[in-house]
Amino acid sequence: MLAQQIVNAISLGSVYALFALGFTLVFGILGVINLSHGGIFMLGAYAALLLISKFFLPFWIAIPVAMIFSGLVGLLIDVLILRRLRQRQASHLMPMIATIGAAILMTSLAQGLFGSEARRFPLEMFNDENLKLGNITIPLLQAGITTLSILLMLLMVWVLKRTRLGQALRAIAESPRAAALLGIPVERLFYLTSFIAAALGGTAGILIGLSFNAISPFMGQPMLHKGIAAIILGGLGDVRGAVLGGLFLGVAEVFAITFLSSEYRDALSFGLLFLMLLWRPQGLFGASATRSA
C-alpha cells in the first residue's frame, strides 16, 4: 500500500517537476513570470488529443508533434508580447498581466473550439498491461509517463550544465547585458528559452491528460498554481529547486489525499507556498531574498 503510494507520488511529482522546470526556466533566463504557462500546458494536451483522435497518428509521432506545437505557442507569446515588453523595459507587473491575458485567451479559445466538458484519449489503444515489481503493480502507461518526464528533465539538466548552449543560457541568467557584451545572441536565446519552456509545459499537459485521462479547457489554471508553488518552494529561477519542488508537491498531494481528505489537496500547495514565503522567501535553493525581480 505505502509502496504503491510512493510510486504514484513519484509519477505525479515528476510531471509537476517537468511543468515547473519550464516555468522556472523562463523566470531564470527572461526574468519574467509567464502566467500563460498553464494555458500552454492545456493546449499541449488538446494538440495531442486531436492528433491522435482526429488524425489517427500513432503515439510516438503525436507526442513530439504536440510538443513542438506547444513550443511554437510559447515562441509566439514571446515574439508578440514579451519581446515588446523587454524592449520597453517594462516593470515586472506588465508581463504578468499580459500573460494572464494570454492565458484567458487560450482558455476561452479552447472552450469555444472544443467545448467545456472534459475530453478523453481513445485509450483502447493501450492494453491494460502492468509492470509487476514484487507486490507493486505499475500500469505501463504510468511507467511510460514517469520515464518520459524524468528523461526530459535529465536532458534539460545535461544541456544546461554540460553544453555551450547551457553555458550561454547561464550567462544570460546572470546578466543579459554582460552576456550580450560577450557576444552571446541574447535575444535569440530568449526565443529559444520560451520555445523550450513551452514545449516542456505542453508535454506536461499531454502526460497529465494521459494519466488522468481527462482534458478540459480549465486544466491549466490549477496546474499553474501548482507550478507557482513548486518554483517558489524550490527558489525562483532555480532549475534544481523547481524539479525538487515539483516532486515534493506530488508526494505531498498524494499523501494528503491518502491520509487527510481530497478537499485539502488544492489548499496544500498554496498553504505550503504561503508558509514557505513567510519562513524563507528565497525558497530552498534561492540565493537572495531581497532580489525584487
CA distance 101 to 93: 13
- Residue in 92, 161, 162, 188 binding another protein, rule: CB under 8 A: 92
Which 28-87 positions form the footprint of another protein (CB under 8 A)?
33, 81, 84-85
Torsion from C-alpha of 251, 257, 261, 264, nearest 10 degrees: 40
CA distance 76 to 83: 10
CB of 34 to another protein, least distance (A): 11
Minimum CB distance to another protein smaller for 123 or for 289: 289
- CA-nearest of 92, 87, 88, 105 to 34 is 92
Judged by DSSP in three states, 139 sits in strand
The 238-267 contact track toward another protein, x by CB under 8 A, reads: -------------------------xx-xx
Minimum CB distance to another protein smaller for 176 or for 227: 227
H helix or E strand, kind and range, residue 138: strand 136-139
Q: Which stretch binds another protein (CB under 8 A): 44-52, 149-157, 169-177, 272-280?
A: 272-280
Cα 51 to the center of its chain, rounded Å: 21
CB of 165 to another protein, least distance (A): 26
Helices (H) and strands (E) in the chain, counts: 12, 2
Cα 213 to the center of its chain, rounded Å: 18
Minimum CB distance to another protein smaller for 55 or for 218: 218
Question: Which residues make up the interface to another protein (CB under 8 A)?
Answer: 27, 33, 81, 84-85, 88, 90, 92-98, 100-109, 111-112, 221, 225, 228-229, 232, 236, 263-264, 266-267, 269-271, 273-274, 277-278, 281, 289-290, 292-293
